Amino acid sequence: MSKIKVAIIGSGNIGTDLMIKILSLSKTLEMSAMVGIDPDSDGLSRARRKGVATTHEGVDGLLKMAEWRDIKVIFDATSAKAHIYNWEKIEPFKDKKIVDLTPAAIGPYLIPAINFEIDDSLRNVNMVTCGGQATIPIVAAVNRVAKVHYGEIVASIASKSAGPGTRANIDEFTDTTSAAIEKVGGAERGKAIIVLNPAEPPLVMRDTVFTLSEMADKEKIRKSIHDMVAEVQSYVPGYELHQEVQFEEIPESAPVFIEGLGLKHGLRTSVFLKVAGAGHYLPEYAGNLDIMTSAARACGERMVKSLS
């Protein structure tokens, strides 16, 4: 089967790591163009050295490239605001699809471990956020056993792994992740928090997931979580449980108050995760970026099945 030509917009850390993953790992995607706005960026320099066509004129430059005609999938690794502009430029080309790695959320949320069966007619899908990719599968794992009333996630990432794009997207991160906890994870109410950890040496990504669900068999929930971790590991090898799953029963006589839901009781489940990067371009501690690029590559490879 011939490979499908793709482009990446955004020559920063995420875009560069994704490019290297596609070049070295993908059997179905072929790098055709790397797009940035800084002609001296390391991402564009690496792309040129690897024989990939480049432009430093953003999406407008991409549309002028000879390679544009044959490109079928575009990965957007810029920022939420930039994605809105990029999609306005790309949307008229009906033979192109876009995988959005920003929190813009123009298209529906996609997390490979949960809703990988993409409608082939969709032309813009959103990868939520790094925290969402790491934690929402756990919320969904609990929800498939017992209805989740409330899901809260805390994503702690190394400050060194948060570049300008990540920092510019902090507000969108919390809004997009919270919404996806509900829409994809299945919780009635979701909340997301991100922490930039300044520790030296930098620590790998750590994620904490709390859910309050209806009462259910704890062992069934534990098994569902372990099964989900294995599913995520199939495309993010550095994803793992940091501690064993913990449970606490919240009795009806002592319910907790949840904003928007009122008083609730049931089973509180606490899950602690860590995500180590694969080291393709970024250091091991940048698991937050690695999980996004790994999930995006998996998404792109699924999308091209309808194009080949």
Residues involved in catalysis: 130
Q: What angle do CA 289, 186, 76 make, to 5 degrees?
A: 30
Using the 8-state DSSP alphabet, how is residue 109 labeled?
Answer: B
Count of CB atoms situated within 10 Å of the CB of 288? 28
Alpha helices in 50-163 (DSSP H): 58-64, 80-90, 112-115, 130-143
In the numeric block, the tokens 């529906």 are attached to 108
Using the 8-state DSSP alphabet, how is residue 253 labeled?
Answer: T
Query: Which residues share a beta bridge with 148?
Result: 213
288 to each of 146, 204, 308, how far by Cα in Å?
Answer: 28, 8, 31
241 to each of 206, 226, 228, how far by Cα in Å?
Answer: 10, 8, 11
Paired sense of beta strands 239-241 and 97-100, if any: unpaired
| Dihedral, CA of residue 228, residue 121, residue 301 and residue 173, to nearest 10 | -60
List phi, psi (to 5°) of 222: -60, -45
Count of CB atoms situated within 10 Å of the CB of 284? 15
In the numeric block, the tokens 């809703």 are attached to 115
Q: Measure the CA–CA gap between 261 and 249, rounded to whole angstroms.
A: 18
Count of CB atoms situated within 10 Å of the CB of 130? 31
